[in-house]
Chain A
Amino acid sequence: MFSYITPCVLLLSIAAYYLGTRRANSIAAASGGMKELHSLPTHYGVFTAICSAAPALIIFALWIFFEDKIISVLVTRSLPADLQQLSANELTLVLNEVKNIAYGGFGAGHSGEAVQAAAKTYNLLSEFASNLVAGLVIVACIVPGCIAYKKITKDLRARNIVETTGMAFLICCSGVAILTTLGIVLSVLFEAIRFFQSVPLTDFIFGLDWSPQTAMRVDQAGSSGAFGAVPVFAGTLLIAVIAMMVAIPIGLLSAIYLSEYASPTFRTWAKPILEILAGIPTVVYGFFAALTVAPLIRDLGSATGFTVSSESALAAGLVMGIMIIPFVSSLSDDVIHAVPQSMRDGSFGLGATHFETIRYVVIPAALPGIVGSILLAVSRAIGETMIVVMAAGLSANLSFNPLSAVTTVTVQIVTLLVGDQEFDSPKTLAAFALGLLLFVFTLLLNVIALRVVRKYREQYE
């Protein structure tokens, strides 16, 4: 059904656009010039097109949304009474069976007459319904289009209508983005609340021991598990800090070099090359960290008398830092470049050196953007999983020693959720709690950073 309705509506609205524009033009010609029209002819065209496409698309969307439910209800009604008596769960099973057969599958093989019959009804119903809806959509396309076409006069405020519709569309789009985010946060929140019913919140936030091994079955012998999030967050922080210690200086300094000292040709070449770093899959960084950097650090450590575990926070942090360099450098370069030349001229004109100008004028003026780029990089560092899995290990040690193996929040979420799990054991739900805490944590980080920026920001026009 999609295959012909969508092009149909598209063609009809293009025709509506064309006709509306033509009618506006002829009205203009009849009443003495374009100035007489309230809006431009194209506005009338778009107005007609919107009037014809919008109702049709709304009906179509509603149908797609409710098709399954309506047909299911109808099919259930047609089932014999003994099947209708079944419990809701069993009824769903039967319905699935019906659908499978209706879609040309073979069902479970031993399906009864009733189910076969229901499948036929299902097919008939859906065929009838799609024809009905196709007709409806075409009518809903043509009728309002014609009405709109008739309504075109030289005083019709087509521009205002078109612009209001455009704005409404934009609002819908941002609404979708906001609602999705809200939905994700809420679902995580509810799962986390379920987790906190079995593990107290304080134990989770302040507990120093993380070993989420619970008994899978009631009769199984096993530890009851410890869900103290502190070691996991400590590991995340440790690795993020190491990564930022690599990425901020290198990224920022190369941004300053690129935007202030490098020749334009060098800049146009070097920037994309640096940005390639961001395009390398993190799993590649991961085995680079595990196979090259970690052994190197371990060898260096043993040569200088340190004990370094073969998986270390340092290796993961270093490689992660390299990965996020382009986030810092590319964005910072853009904002530094955007500081007006007149600022620099003002400083040079007072006899400041290039370095003083950068230090006291350019960087402060670009600070909000620079902090923004760093925040983005921090979020990447905190959210990064692959490198840590491969190079820093899985053991939750509460340690701030960069040479020891640590683990991070994201890694723990992965290990909690992979494999066969019961979806209501605390072990699985702990993943949601970790996710929620991580979310709150990054949110706080952002709020604090924005506060700091607002305090120190130097705004140029």
Chain B
Amino acid sequence: MELTANHASNAFPTMLSEEMLEEAEQSKTLATARKTVGTPFVDTPRMTCRDIQVFYGDKQAINKMSIDVASNEVLAMIGPSGCGKSTFLRCLNRMNDTVLSCRVTGEVKLDGTDIYHPSVDVVPLRARVGMVFQKPNPFPKSIYDNIAYGPKIHGLTKNKDELDEIIETSLIRAGLWDEVKDRLQDPGTGLSGGQQQRLCIARTIAVSPEVILMDEPCSALDPIATARVEELIAELRTQFSIVIVTHSMQQAARVSQRTAYFHLGDLIEVGATEKVFTNPLHQLTEDYITGRFG
């Protein structure tokens, strides 16, 4: 199907400059089959996923997905609600193990080791692959204890000063320090929704994971806090890999190097962010980013 100027004018307004739109106009026929198009694989992968399928009971939530997560990259996952982004993300640190009805098949490797291999211990895996959940879930403890929890159970600090320092830097990096520095002993559940979200981010980075999975980390944040978290993501990328689920395409465009588009349990398209947003290869991707889906 040809892309007309008409369609393109619907496109995502802030990120796409005029030249980009023209470039998009020149595109050829778009793919329509339910097969991943683009560049799901990279040369220096941190994590590799092959033929991942996830079932909740008899219901299939994810259908044969294969994708790599490169070192020092931010991979954004976009797609309509219920398409399986969170489910896929939870496969990467085996959080789906905690859902009784959930069954995962396929292969996920972290630095070449299959994380679903029976010999792999899931506890250190989750310390290496940290996760920020879609719904903020602070522990019903004080703000201080919320962040101290991870370092304490992993024995990361030798004394209270070191712990205090970790807590302060984590909160500063998550952009929450100024708001809570005077009430670290207050319960974390007493914070606002957006503050709780940043508390959970701070809690996750306090254990210095190597891969960080973020499930809509900015869904309840104002633009300033969002900017702070995006800065944090850029900063973390210099050492680690980050996979972020977001419903904001501006955000995906701002923070990520590669973008993956999910559609009803299928991985439709993976490619360099700029390319996915300006010159998508698949009809469904194109429909979604131009706002014609759902």
Contacts and interface: CB of A to CB of B under 8 A. Distances in A.
Are A and B bound to each other? yes
Nearest to A352: B153
Given A264-B100, A342-B135, A458-B141, A350 B187 contact: no
Interface string A326-361: 000000000000001111111111111100100011
A342 B90 CA distance: 13
Nearest to A354: B123
A349 B95 contact: yes
Interface string B63-102: 0000000000000000000000000000001010010100
Contacts of A352: 123, 149-150, 153
B201 to A, nearest CB: 12
A353 B189 contact: no
B204 A349 contact: yes
A29 B135 CA distance: 49
A461 interface: yes
Contact of B139 (A264, A346, A351): A346
A343 B133 CA distance: 11
B153 A344 contact: no
Given A345-B95, A345-B133, A360-B149, A350 B204 contact: yes
B137 to A, nearest CB: 4
Contacts of A356: 153
B140 interface: yes
A365 interface: yes
A109 B158 CA distance: 96
A269 interface: no
* Category for how many chain B residues contact A: 20 to 34
Contacts of B137: 340, 342-343, 345-346
Contacts of A350: 126-127, 130, 149-150, 153, 203-204, 207
Interface centre among A340, A347, A352 (most CB of B within 10 A): A352
A356 B130 CA distance: 17
Contacts of B125: 351
B153 A346 contact: no
B100 to A, nearest CB: 7
B200 interface: yes
Interface string B145-179: 00001100110000000000000000000000000
Contacts, number: 77
B200 A459 contact: no
Contact of A351 (B98, B100, B135, B154): B154
B224 to A, nearest CB: 25
Given A264-B100, A346-B200, A365-B140, A360 B153 contact: yes
Interface string B190-219: 000000000010011001000000000000
B149 A460 contact: no
B177 to A, nearest CB: 20
Contacts of A349: 93, 95, 126, 130-131, 133, 204
A3 B98 CA distance: 60
Nearest to A458: B140
Contacts of B138: 346
A364 interface: yes
A103 B184 CA distance: 78
Contacts of A344: 98
B100 A348 contact: no
Interface of A: 264, 340-353, 356, 360-361, 364-365, 458-461
22 contacts: A342-B135, A345-B133, A345-B137, A346-B137, A346-B138, A348-B98, A349-B131, A349-B133, A350-B126, A350-B130, A350-B149, A350-B150, A351-B123, A351-B124, A351-B150, A351-B153, A351-B154, A352-B123, A352-B149, A352-B150, A352-B153, A361-B149
